[in-house]
């Protein structure tokens, strides 16, 4: 990684951390499985399987959240589970998500 990439990644992580701190106490921010799969670099089926294996509030560090019949991903524990190489994809997804 170049110095510019590292600086951009640090800025993205700070922005994400600021957004998480601004959330009201007890609020959880979730993203669809499709976006989480893109960030993790896996298929949607693999991401759903990961959600089933890492249920939010049940498993330590779990991020899968069942909303009705659909899985969603709680972003804070999900980001903590990612390798550093995937964090640049978190930034691009986060920017797109915030525009919507």
Cβ contact 8:83 at 8 Å: no
For tokens 């797109």, the residue is: 96
Q: What is the pLDDT of residues 21-72, one digit of tens each?
A: 776 666 678 888 988 888 888 999 999 999 999 999 898 889 999 999 999 9
Task: Find the Cα–Cα–Cα–Cα dihedral 46, 49, 51, 57, rounded to 10°.
Answer: -160
> What is the structure's pLDDT at 17?
75
Which pTM does this prediction carry?
0.64
Whether 81 shows a pLDDT value over 80: the answer reads yes
Whether 87 shows a pLDDT value over 80: the answer reads no
């Amino acid at each position: 990684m170049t110095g510019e990439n590292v600086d951009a990644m640090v800025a993205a992580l700070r922005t994400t951390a600021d957004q998480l701190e601004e959330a009201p106490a007890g609020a959880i921010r979730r993203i669809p499985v499709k976006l989480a799969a893109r960030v993790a670099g896996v298929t949607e089926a693999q991401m759903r399987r990961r959600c089933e294996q890492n249920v939010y509030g049940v498993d330590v560090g779990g991020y899968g959240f069942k909303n009705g019949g659909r899985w969603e991903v709680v972003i804070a524990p999900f980001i903590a589970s990612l390798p550093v190489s995937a964090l640049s994809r978190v930034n691009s997804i986060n920017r797109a998500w915030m525009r919507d």
